Structure 1
């Protein structure tokens, strides 16, 4: 026994080490109360700060973020970044109380954020009984899915100020900056697609609103953009490349896989792309929209001046001072009081030896404004003189502008009217009163298009006519001219005839032959009707050769460059896009010929 005892002592430490090493180790990125999913009926409480959702990789966390001593938000942040860099917030403008508030995944499939009094501060729009769980993905996207894994709701659809890789910005979404550094509430700057399908940066301040990126001194093409792609979609990929439907493209200076990135609309109005250094949690700027921060509108507020010293710095002009030392958005205000005056009481003094006769009737009173420097009074007739000179100068300038624009406008009106006279001399000229009477004050409307409406009327000679009335005279001048010129040259039994027109003051009307059986498109495409007017299906087809194997006819109809593979597909696609835009039902959305030509030349 004595000879074997040392071996037992040697085996005992080995047994202890093997036993303890068999227990699982906690993930360094997880917390004791973190979880990856939130099931129906469960919740997270604001009191338990470690009770969070964590993505499977541990890169993102979701839970309650402390904004102040007793103010919290429900947010998503980078787990390994310094100071928990926020990527999304549910209630950025409505903080909740630090006690009693919670986020609950209800049994009806809705995720609800409630305050201490039970009031709903934020909720998802999901009311599906099929919703099974809420989960934070490795992409940083918080999703609600059903039992089959389909996404019912996701945080990627409602970004705040940050865009993550694979998260698109669309025509329904936008990035809005925070109000100040370290704050989460909404600020004045935003990134979104405008009505021209262009991705822009907008300053929407308390008093003014203006676009400052892309450069407003250049047109869309000069900025390298296009407005002919209405998809309105932009996305940052995992390698740091950003591409947009308006042809905007840029990339991170450290482009490549394996790096955590974010595109943020910063509080100072600049759009920046950041890369995370996971070793110390710091962020590095790898791209920014504006290299000079003074180009951001509203950076220094009203009356503020942005200067480089050598970094951007806000200052106030002479005799002005900052409105709010903590916030330059308030701008600058006057450094002195414009109205600082005092009024002394007047009284009568009795003087002996004088007689004062009372006068019955109206009296006229007058007063004077003066300024004092503490030693003597200075009458301010000077201000009256300056005001009079200013008023006279204003009248001269206003008169000059009026005569200038009057001279420009009158010849145009004369030229237009002469053009009408020349081009419509073969038609009868109706008065506006005649057509108003014929249509019974435009009572019976036959149809309506992008440029105007058509009404039924009866002339004095009992002829039934169709009267087209242009809605917008300023935009309808060209259509009026073109329609009179074109239809006046056509004489065909199957086309409507033109009887006359009206060009009186701002009224532009065209008088056509009235079609008793309706328009041609209804006869051709209304299959519900009966009669011999409809074309049979065989008559609607093109040549019989289309249905046969004979392809000899193709060369007569199709550009042979297509058959030889010499066609530029990019130009062809561009032509199709422009063609579709030119036939938009809303005439206001159709591009001008200048824009069409410019786009064609740019893509030649």
Structure 2
């Protein structure tokens, strides 16, 4: 055998764009052979070889070309093979290409095996999706082993791309489809207009609606020999497909789009008896009262798939009662319906050890006893038209514990309230004076009209822009500054400078742009409406303003094709605003 890499050694592509080597996601995991971007400060891995079987010790980890011509991950001390390629040819050579494709080729240059044919969770330019090829998520943020979510061409028509969830593995025939791009219309997918940009990356669908279908995207060469920014599609451990683009100037990954946009639409994200809260993006899942995570270690790593289980003894251990959850939606549960009061419903459920809870409508007296798993629980309490309420079966001791906890919290909060109310009274006159100086109807009215925007404090934006020190340009209503938020996302902050903060223009822009998402419009992330400060926060466009390109010197004139694409994109954006 021929050793390619051992221990912490690496190999790089010709221009040092990608690097192959061993990595450990955290201190508790083993070591994996992976490909990452070489020129980016924090490594992002786009492919993993031995993702199902890590090596314990880095010192003995090696990547070798075996005697029969396979690429293998080997523990050199025990000579145990942890992973190897499916194809082989004696005398094969290994090369990492500039596109991030790791290829094994024969002496005559024929490709024997390539990593692009066996992707993990990342889809790079030049990589094609086919009927037999898919992306599979990591199990968690620190576990590269195959998760339960996959991206693939949707059979049997193969005319769209879909996300799937599987209880077992990604190839299971029992997979559940929970999102699709919509059918290909010859130029784009019906449900994803963001995938139509032709001047940076070109998407191509060959033989759609056939088993031979192939879908991929490639880079479009830019003017003056410039390369497009790094981009990658990733199906993350929580089942969302996201496109990221690297900003060389600010050295951050900007998320261009994500689907499903609402994370709670991902199938079985929180597991059995787990409730999804889309407002908590980093940790959207929680257990119902009387329940706890089935696997607390996995839960901390953001792998919620094992769901929740009852606290205390099993069902039918005696002393069970019911905890009101409220109006919810759910999937995959056997329902037995009959007429009766809530008391009759509870009595019927308690007689059956398999009954996990019930739905009851007080207006119609319709009762539904529930059996099996409660998946995809989503809170619908805000929808007053729904009369059915969910009651889950819990142990009485768990409910008493919850009530005691609530009582203790209530007593503490009551004590704090008494202390705070004294101070609040002293501040009342000062607050009233300030309120008289403010404009009526501030950010509350805007938040009411635009619920998908983040509200920033002035202090937060002052810090993000380093005191508004990096000026990007100046428009009719104010200056625009570059900033970086606490989550490392680059933004452009527009500060309105007209008397009164340009209140009319500010409200119009927030309420209009805030409710629109279009590929040719810069996305509005949020706003600040604090005292007299009026600021708008947009995605940062690393290539600068359009005017700087249209008005630059003769040595850097844009081609007519590029100018046409700019005009077309501008027209599309304006048309979307008029609609």
TM-score (norm 1): 0.44
**Taking CA–CA contacts closer than 8 Å with sequence separation of 6 or more, which of the two structures ends up with the larger relative contact order?**
2
TM-score (norm 2): 0.45
